[in-house]
Structure 1
Amino acid sequence: MESREAERDAILRALAPVVDGIAATFGPLCEAVLHDYRRPETSVVAVAGSVTGRTVGGAMSEIGLRVLARGDEAHDELNYVTRTSTGRRVKSSTMVLRDSAGAVFGALCVNVDVTEIDRVQGLLAALAGTGAEASPAPVTTFGDDIDSVVDALLDDHLRRQDQTWPGLDRTRRLALFRGLDERGVFAVRRAVEQVAARLGISRASAYHYLAQARDTPADATEGARP
């Protein structure tokens, strides 16, 4: 096990200069971030560029939590588009890192701010009379504080349920906990306590709902999802 950890550390050290090279090659609109998924709350081990404002020692994003939840079944996610909380449109790629046994332990992420590019394309399309607005990209929380990422995921689930916690029946409550679990929230330390506090329930109740959600077949709560 120690040799496996040493191997992972060596891979991360080898990739750290690559982060600087990517950002330098593609200029100020590009950001490269190297993540160590063994520590979700402080996963950022190297960063270059400033698209999402990440810093070394910062937490993984919602996307990272989703990859973490998939474990060794995770795969690269390339050229997807999201929006930051400030409205910037970002094209990203997340490339998972595996050790020699095939286990996922981190990721190399590249983020490119395409806000101005989209604006110019829209202007040119309008002038040519062929304009069509780009489809809205989902908002993603990028932050160095893992608590803000967990809060954003919880708020998103409640918003899609169009209910507060007291207004949800048991099926929808289980669906909420299942959804959070599938998005990797409970891989974070203290996440159960944080979710319990936000919902106004006891920690014991939160653990109970989580256990029930994991034991309930997915199709039993599927109808409760908006």
Structure 2
Amino acid sequence: MDEQRAILETYFPIASLITSIVGPKCEVVIHDIFNPEQSVIYLTNGHISGRKVGDGATDLVLKLLKGNLNQDQPFIANYIAEGPNGQKFRSSTYFIRNHKGELIGLMCINIDITQMKIAEEWIQHLLYGDSSVTPQVKEDPPEEKQVTEYLQGNVEDLLRHMIKTVLGKLDVTKDRLTSHEKQELVKALNNQGVFLLKGGVSEVARSLGISEPTVYRYLQKLK
């Protein structure tokens, strides 16, 4: 067993402890970040998100690998994640490092708050009804500063989700995109870590209506 795997395995009992304390609505996942297509090496209560050992990385893991999130902090806490069936999670991620301080893995804690959100809406309705008097809600921070995650272990589904999210911000359909706009989309998808996954190039090519060599040519221009 190599040193990296040994370090990651020391967190397995901690993951089980957290689940035992928080309860059945809590999933804890250990990711090996150097194997994005099979990054999940341990998890508890995987039925919550539908994942299992051997499943792939999430979009958050890919963003970390691309350096798009601050890795100097010890953890990121209390962000919202979404499951494949629309579940809502309150999530936190602890950065696991080796003895040199290098990031080697993640311990992700996901608490299913789907039913709590429904209860919250019901309570708000009971308190304020349909009147014009509504509670003051704290505004969310700008979108680019929010941490979000899509809890999906299936690589193909994750790719489609990430590509759909980026394309969903466009005002035009893919058949009306200019060559420059397609290059910018490839750049944006690259920054999201889409091309770290096997099949990323072919899925992007299909989604943009271009050939795989064209995607590779766009990527080459980014270097």
Structure 2 Cα separation of the partners of residues 184 and 100 of structure 1: 26
- 1:71 CA displacement: 7.6
Please say if 1:70 is aligned against 2:79.
no
Please say if 1:58 is aligned against 2:67.
no
Residues 39 and 128 of structure 1, relative CA distance in 2, 3 Å threshold: same
**Equivalent pair of 2:38/2:57 in contact (CA under 8 Å):** yes
- 1:93 CA displacement: 0.7
Structure 2 Cα separation of the partners of residues 140 and 185 of structure 1: 14
Tell me what 2:131 maps to.
none
Gaps of 5+ in 2: 129-133, 141-145
**Equivalent pair of 2:19/2:44 in contact (CA under 8 Å):** yes
Tell me what 1:188 maps to.
197
Residues 135 and 146 of structure 1, relative CA distance in 2, 3 Å threshold: farther
* Residue type of the alignment partner of 1:108: M
Please say if 1:31 is aligned against 2:27.
yes
Moved more, 147-156 or 68-77: 68-77
Residues 33 and 165 of structure 1, relative CA distance in 2, 3 Å threshold: same
Greater percentage in helix: 1
Q: TM-score scaled to structure 2, two decimals?
A: 0.82
Identity of matched residues, %: 27
Tell me what 2:17 maps to.
21
Q: What secondary structure does 2:91 align onto?
A: strand
* Residue type of the alignment partner of 2:10: A
Residues 161 and 140 of structure 1, relative CA distance in 2, 3 Å threshold: same
Tell me what 1:99 maps to.
98
Structure 1 Cα separation of the partners of residues 127 and 69 of structure 2: 47
Q: What secondary structure does 1:33 align onto?
A: strand
Moved more, 10-19 or 75-84: 75-84
Root mean square deviation of aligned Cα: 2.7
- 1:134 CA displacement: 9.2
Moved more, 167-176 or 203-212: 167-176
- 1:142 CA displacement: 2.5
- 1:135 CA displacement: 8.0
Gaps of 5+ in 1: 216-226
* Residue type of the alignment partner of 2:11: L
Structure 1 Cα separation of the partners of residues 171 and 149 of structure 2: 19
Moved more, 191-200 or 69-78: 69-78
